[in-house]
């Protein structure tokens, strides 16, 4: 209850472990908090993530989470539709191979098939390592520093669609002694047309990963939660190492990335890794908003300078 109302700002420069050890006395409560904060951050260990951002995520989650009917693709589709209605032209399946930034000014986006787009501004929403590859002389810009400090977060994901649940009351489980999460998302969202139950399991990974061992662990949890699930199986998908994010607000971070790349005029970064204290997709959207606001503010200033000499007579 205290956490839901706490001012989390003071915990931005403290790790999850420091926060838990300093605020929870009961060892079991500590373990439950480690588990909850792991699920909020997707980071396996408590030593790297800054506590403040993850606690804010937990505060948001305590207000209730939204589960999307038909999954995340639905959100992307609505976004695409909204953009199209506003006249945005989306170019898909086009791999960008470089940017033309001669003289330290954004000039062109160059695609693999040779197409070039003239532009004054670019928001790079790729990973920091790809951003470094796309920008000439990136090693002389902040992009290099942001890439150097980045720590990637990955997860092993097992999704199964089951005809029915053998244990209908077993819908959700946080691992305490295992870094796993089990959730039947069909309890909250429409994910199949034939009543199949779509169950997802995630194993939060550290640096060392072992695809077979992770699968064994995830299937072990499924055995425990839904005994006999193999007899009910319609389809199974195992993704042994999914990138959750390319970087996050961690204790080794020297500075928050973006919104602007100060060395190149018109160049910005966005994406979950460009977090200024937000986590997961909130960080992706907040960083995009920051980049656009920065761009518009600069354009406003330029316009003002351009017309400054005009007076009203
Ligand atoms: C299993 C799992 C569960 C998750 N659950 C949640 C959740 O419940 N809530 C939540 O908020 N977040 C969740 N996340 C995190 C969420 O998925 C990320 O926050 C989000 O996808 C990050 O978006 P992004 O735009 O920063 O990066 P990305 O999604 O990595 O997008 C980068 C894009 O750049 C493109 N790209 C790369 N190079 C080029 C190039 N040369 N030319 C053109 N395009 C290029 C890539 O194709 C990609 O589409 C989850 C992640 C995982 C893996």
DSSP assignment letter at 168: T
Q: Which helix (H) or strand (E) holds 52?
A: helix 51-62
- Does a structural domain hold residue 310? no
Backbone angles phi, psi at 84, to 5 degrees: -60, -40
pLDDT of res. 307 = 60
Backbone angles phi, psi at 46, to 5 degrees: -90, 0
pLDDT of res. 135 = 98
197 preceded by a cis bond (ω within 30 of 0): no
The reply to whether ligand 1 has any atom less than 6 angstroms from the CB of 258 is no
pLDDT of res. 259 = 97
Q: Which helix (H) or strand (E) holds 96?
A: strand 96-100
Which domain CATH number covers 165? 3.30.70
Domain boundary among 245, 268, 285: 245
- Does a structural domain hold residue 289? yes
Residue 135, both tokens? 């920008």
State whether 221 and 157 are in the same domain: yes
Which domain CATH number covers 117? 3.50.50.60
Full-prediction pTM beyond 0.75? Answer: yes
pLDDT of res. 207 = 87
- Does a structural domain hold residue 189? yes
State whether 231 and 259 are in the same domain: no
Domain boundary among 12, 31, 62: 62
Which atom of ligand 1 sits closest to the CA of residue 65? 8
Q: Which domain holds residue 212?
A: 153-245
State whether 264 and 131 are in the same domain: yes
User: Ligand 1 centre and the CA of 273: distance in Å?
Assistant: 10
In angstroms and rounded to an integer, the radius of gyration of the C-alpha atoms of the chain is 23
User: Ligand 1 centre and the CA of 245: distance in Å?
Assistant: 7
pLDDT of res. 311 = 54
State whether 54 and 187 are in the same domain: no
State whether 213 and 102 are in the same domain: no
Residue 166, both tokens? 């053998």
User: Ligand 1 centre and the CA of 149: distance in Å?
Assistant: 19
- Does a structural domain hold residue 311? no
Residue 296, both tokens? 């518009």
* 44: nearest Cα among 196, 161, 217: 217
- Does a structural domain hold residue 312? no
State whether 157 and 9 are in the same domain: no
Pocket test for ligand 1, best of 125, 258, 259, 289 (most atoms within 8 A of CB): 125
User: Ligand 1 centre and the CA of 268: distance in Å?
Assistant: 17
Domain boundary among 62, 83, 114: 62
The reply to whether ligand 1 has any atom less than 6 angstroms from the CB of 76 is no
Which atom of ligand 1 sits closest to the CA of residue 157? 1
- Does a structural domain hold residue 313? no
Residue 5 CA to residue 7 CA, distance in Å, equals 7
Residue 116 CA to residue 103 CA, distance in Å, equals 18
State whether 15 and 143 are in the same domain: no
Residue 30 CA to residue 89 CA, distance in Å, equals 50
User: Ligand 1 centre and the CA of 257: distance in Å?
Assistant: 17
pLDDT of res. 223 = 98
Pocket test for ligand 1, best of 96, 113, 283, 284 (most atoms within 8 A of CB): 284
- Total domains, the chain: 3
pLDDT of res. 247 = 96
Residue nearest to atom 35 of ligand 1 (CA): 126
Residue 148, both tokens? 């150097």
Residue 178, both tokens? 């295992």
- Does a structural domain hold residue 46? yes
pLDDT in tens, the chain (313 residues): 888 889 999 999 999 999 999 999 999 999 999 999 999 999 999 999 999 999 999 999 888 888 999 999 999 999 999 999 999 999 999 999 999 999 999 999 999 999 999 999 999 999 999 999 999 999 999 999 999 999 999 999 999 999 999 999 999 999 999 999 999 999 999 999 999 999 999 999 988 899 999 999 999 999 999 999 999 999 999 999 999 999 999 999 999 999 999 999 999 999 999 999 999 999 999 999 999 999 999 888 776 776 665 555 4
Which atom of ligand 1 sits closest to the CA of residue 72? 17
Question: Could you tell me if 85 and 232 are in contact, meaning their C-beta atoms sit under 8 angstroms apart?
Answer: no
The reply to whether ligand 1 has any atom less than 6 angstroms from the CB of 202 is yes
Residue 32, both tokens? 């439950």
User: Ligand 1 centre and the CA of 76: distance in Å?
Assistant: 12
Residue 278 CA to residue 247 CA, distance in Å, equals 12
Pocket test for ligand 1, best of 272, 273, 274 (most atoms within 8 A of CB): 272
State whether 258 and 276 are in the same domain: yes
């Amino acid at each position: 209850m205290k956490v839901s109302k706490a001012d989390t700002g003071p915990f931005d420069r403290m790790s999850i472990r420091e926060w838990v050890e300093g605020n929870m006395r009961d060892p079991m409560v500590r373990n439950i908090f480690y588990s909850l904060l792991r699920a909020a951050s997707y980071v396996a260990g408590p030593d790297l993530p800054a506590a403040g951002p993850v606690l804010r995520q937990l505060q948001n989650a305590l207000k209730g989470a939204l589960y999307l009917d038909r999954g995340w693709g639905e959100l992307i589709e609505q976004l695409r539709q909204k953009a199209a209605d506003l006249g945005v032209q989306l170019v898909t399946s086009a791999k960008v191979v470089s940017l033309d930034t001669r003289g330290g000014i954004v000039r062109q986006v160059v695609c693999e098939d040779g197409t070039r787009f003239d532009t004054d501004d670019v928001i790079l929403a790729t990973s920091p390592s790809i951003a470094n590859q796309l920008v000439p002389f990136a090693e002389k810009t902040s992009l290099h520093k942001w890439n150097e400090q980045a720590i990637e977060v990955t997860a092993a994901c097992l999704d199964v669609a089951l005809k029915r649940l053998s244990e209908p009351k077993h819908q959700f489980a946080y691992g305490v002694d295992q870094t796993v999460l089990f959730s039947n998302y069909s309890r909250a969202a429409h994910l199949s047309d034939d009543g199949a139950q779509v169950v997802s399991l995630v194993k939060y990974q550290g640096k060392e990963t072992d695809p077979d061992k992770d699968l064994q662990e995830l299937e072990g949890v499924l055995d425990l939660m839904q005994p006999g699930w193999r007899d009910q199986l319609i389809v199974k998908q195992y993704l042994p190492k999914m990138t959750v994010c390319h970087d996050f607000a961690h204790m080794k971070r020297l500075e928050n990335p973006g919104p602007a790349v100060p060395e190149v005029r018109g160049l910005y970064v966005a994406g979950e890794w460009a977090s200024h204290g937000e986590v997961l997709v909130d960080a992706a959207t907040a960083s995009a908003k920051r980049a656009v606001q920065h761009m518009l503010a600069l354009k406003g200033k330029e316009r003002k300078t351009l017309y400054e000499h005009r007076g009203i007579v």
